[in-house]
């Protein structure tokens, strides 16, 4: 397990100093439930909602939370955003578009670095999300210290509410628990500049092989066949076979079939 | 706009070489629609579904897609995963848990680097997602060259289907369009090791200021007041005022009020 310089400098925060997620005037219970699930997927547990349209608790939220609400502290409900963030030191507001305000604007990764740095200094932090249709009002935005924008498709920019919470939670976890995201080193298979074959060519070969193996009674019992076919397919998909190799394999099968005929 | 070494080496792919998203046996139309929306949020447009439980087209999918389905090429429907990936060179399967198979396992960022590198060599690529409850079968997994796992909370690991598509689309866009994610440099405000005040202290100060300004008839018309209050709040939230500064500001207000009384 690697600790990079950043981890050491920042004294990784405990769960208590993870950001609170604050939903302003959420309209759909489904989105509140999906938000809770997305938060718990990445270890965030402090969910606050301001003036939910349909009140709280909410059955639709429970349905889409998939058990998340029972596995985190009770959701806190507030009447105003001022109340919801009164115990926090630093909050970042989310927006799908630039606003006519002088605020620092972060992308998600930068925002989480800023939040993590503050959390490491024992500041209490939060991320604020607006209502589904309208986003945050200028009043609400003016209560937050900074703005975070997701670099979405300019022609289709609006993220679903729970989706933008998910991206925030994911980037937070990535930033705070860096080690989880660097444990893999890419496999080093030298392809010698050849192209992996199309899947249809692999499928054709494997079907032919399966038929030939059936002919030869390779599958000792019908019960064993599915597992054996999975193992066989894995050999060829894992190894990224090239066009040339597929031709070679067909040649091998033809040769073996020839053997059988010759017997 | 910065081009880093990687951009230059890889010859950034055109839209045509972005990954296809393949959903195997999706159960809920809502998730198919949310998937389409998440894809288009990050410029992915090749959606393929294998044996959708409720058939296709699907009204619930259209409702949650928020217009995405009309703004991308028609969804392709297949009977089997083999058919759905037959024109692709390289596919990565997603899984919430380790499988007992010899496959390279990527985290999302590494997976996208691998996909981007292959796309830059004119390979056609895809990401494969399993059914909501069960994920991908071993049969389906064995058709893919590699596995991608999201480093979720081990005690609450299961991502919603559309949420895992979103994270993939986001990481793809981040990897393929690196420049969008590095345009911001963090603001450099020297806090001299002091702590930003709690939001409640800022709120208290601003309410007091508002009252004093009302007294002084600062707001020339009632219509102008909301905008002016937004602008005023922004001054104090943007500047990350410290405890000490809040005390100073209260002192200033008291002094000004004193002035008024003196007049």
| CB spacing of A196 vs B145 below 8 angstroms | yes
| CB spacing of A142 vs B183 below 8 angstroms | no
Number of Cβ within 10 Å of residue A256's Cβ equals 14
Residue of A nearest to B206 (CA): A143
Residue B50 Cα distances to B72, B76, B80, B125, angstroms: 18, 9, 6, 17
- ipTM passes above 0.85: no
DSSP A196: B
Q: Which residue out of A122, A145, A167, A190 would a mutagenesis test of the B interface target, given it has the greatest number of B Cβ atoms within 10 Å?
A: A145
Q: Does B120 reach chain A within 8 Å, measured CB to CB?
A: no
In A5-24, the residues whose Cβ lies within 8 Å of chain B are none
Give the CA angle between residues A105, A98, B13 to the nearest 5°: 85
Mean pLDDT, residues A240-256: 78
Residue A238's pLDDT is: 65
In A72-101, the residues whose Cβ lies within 8 Å of chain B are 82, 85-91, 101
Query: A226 vs chain B: nearest CA distance in angstroms?
Result: 8
State the average pLDDT for chain B. 83
**A142 closest CB neighbour out of B153, B162, B234:** B234
Residue B194's pLDDT is: 62
Q: How confident is the model at residue B13 (pLDDT cuts 50, 70, 90)?
A: very low
Query: B50 vs chain A: nearest CA distance in angstroms?
Result: 16
Residue A222 Cα distances to A206, A207, A218, A254, B148, angstroms: 18, 16, 10, 25, 32
Residue A232's pLDDT is: 81
The two three-digit tokens of residue A70, written as one number = 């029972």
pTM for the full model?
Answer: 0.78
Q: How confident is the model at residue B262 (pLDDT cuts 50, 70, 90)?
A: very low
Report which of A51, A121, A36 is spatially closest to residue A84, judged by C-alpha positions: A51
Residue B215's pLDDT is: 85
Chain B neighbors of A183, CB-CB under 8 A: 107
Summarize pLDDT for B244-253 with one digit per residue, the tens: 778 888 887 7
- The answer, yes or no, to whether residue B21 has pLDDT greater than 70, is yes
What is the four-CA torsion angle of B157, B163, B169, B173, rounded to 10 degrees?
A: -80
Residue B189's pLDDT is: 45
A35 vs B133, which has greater pLDDT?
A: A35
Q: How confident is the model at residue A181 (pLDDT cuts 50, 70, 90)?
A: low
B101 vs A61, which has greater pLDDT?
A: A61
Residue of A nearest to B90 (CA): A196
A257 vs B4, which has greater pLDDT?
A: A257
Summarize pLDDT for B100-126 with one digit per residue, the tens: 666 788 999 899 999 999 999 888 999
| CB spacing of A68 vs B156 below 8 angstroms | yes
Helices A29-41 and B161-176, packing angle to 10 deg:
60
| CB spacing of B181 vs A151 below 8 angstroms | yes
Q: Does B43 reach chain A within 8 Å, measured CB to CB?
A: yes
Q: Does B116 reach chain A within 8 Å, measured CB to CB?
A: no
- The answer, yes or no, to whether residue A193 has pLDDT greater than 70, is no
| CB spacing of A163 vs B162 below 8 angstroms | yes
B218 vs A130, which has greater pLDDT?
A: A130
Residue A127's pLDDT is: 98
Residue A7's pLDDT is: 41
Residue A187's pLDDT is: 44
Q: Which helix (H) or strand (E) element contains residue A128? A: strand A125-129
Find which of A75-84, A230-239, B15-24 is predicted with most confidence, using mean pLDDT.
Answer: A75-84
Chain A neighbors of B195, CB-CB under 8 A: 89, 121, 123
Residue B97's pLDDT is: 76
Contact A202, A237 (CB under 8 A): yes
Q: How confident is the model at residue B223 (pLDDT cuts 50, 70, 90)?
A: confident
Q: Does A103 reach chain B within 8 Å, measured CB to CB?
A: yes
- The answer, yes or no, to whether residue B2 has pLDDT greater than 70, is no
Mean pLDDT, residues B145-173: 94
Give the Cα separation of B108 and A108 in Å (integer): 16
Residue B246's pLDDT is: 82
Query: A255 vs chain B: nearest CA distance in angstroms?
Result: 26
Q: How confident is the model at residue B217 (pLDDT cuts 50, 70, 90)?
A: confident
- The answer, yes or no, to whether residue B171 has pLDDT greater than 80, is yes
Summarize pLDDT for A182-192 with one digit per residue, the tens: 544 454 344 44
Mean pLDDT, residues A25-43: 97
| CB spacing of A107 vs B230 below 8 angstroms | no
Q: Which residue out of B170, B189, B201 would a mutagenesis test of the A interface target, given it has the greatest number of A Cβ atoms within 10 Å?
A: B170
Mean pLDDT, residues B18-33: 97
- The answer, yes or no, to whether residue B11 has pLDDT greater than 90, is no
Number of Cβ within 10 Å of residue A188's Cβ equals 6
Residue B253's pLDDT is: 78
Report which of A182, A148, A174, A185 is spatially closest to residue A41, judged by C-alpha positions: A174
Sequence-distant (6+) residues with CB within 8 A of A163 are A38, B34, B37, B38, B41, B162, B163, B166
| CB spacing of A38 vs B237 below 8 angstroms | no
Give the Cα separation of A89 and A80 in Å (integer): 17
Residue A15's pLDDT is: 45
Q: Does A194 reach chain B within 8 Å, measured CB to CB?
A: no
Residue B164's pLDDT is: 97
Chain B neighbors of A160, CB-CB under 8 A: 34, 37-38, 66
Across the A/B interface, how many CB contacts are shorter than 8 Å? 209
Report the b/e string of B119-148 with b at 16+ CB within 10 A: bbbebbbbbbbbbbeebbbeebbbbbbbbb
Q: Does A47 reach chain B within 8 Å, measured CB to CB?
A: no
Residue A5's pLDDT is: 41
């Amino acid at each position: 397990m690697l600790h990079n310089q950043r981890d050491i400098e920042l004294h990784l925060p405990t769960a208590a100093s993870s950001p609170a997620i604050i939903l302003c005037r959420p309209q759909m219970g489904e989105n509140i439930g999906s938000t809770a699930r997305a938060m718990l997927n990445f270890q965030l547990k402090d969910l606050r909602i301001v003036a939910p349209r349909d009140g709280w608790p909410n059955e639709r939220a429970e349905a889409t939370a998939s058990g998340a609400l029972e596995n985190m502290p009770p959701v806190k409900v507030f009447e105003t955003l001022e109340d919801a963030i009164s115990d926090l030191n630093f909050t970042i507001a989310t927006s799908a578009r630039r606003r006519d305000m002088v605020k620092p604007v972060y992308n998600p990764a930068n925002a989480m670095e800023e939040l993590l740095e503050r959390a490491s200094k024992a500041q209490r932090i939060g991320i604020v999300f607006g209502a589904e249709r309208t986003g945050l009002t200028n009043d609400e935005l003016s209560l937050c210290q900074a703005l975070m924008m997701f670099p979405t498709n300019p022609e289709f920019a609006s993220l679903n509410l729970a989706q933008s919470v998910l991206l925030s939670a994911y980037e937070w976890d990535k930033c705070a628990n860096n080690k989880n995201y660097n444990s893999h080193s890419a496999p080093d298979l030298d392809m010698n500049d050849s192209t992996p074959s199309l899947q249809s060519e692999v499928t054709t070969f494997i079907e032919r092989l399966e038929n030939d193996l059936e002919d030869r009674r390779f599958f000792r019992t019908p019960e064993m066949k599915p597992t054996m076919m999975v193992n066989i397919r894995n050999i060829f998909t894992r190894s990224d076979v090239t066009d040339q190799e597929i031709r070679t394999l067909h040649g091998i099968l033809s040769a073996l079939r020839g053997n059988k005929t010759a017997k």
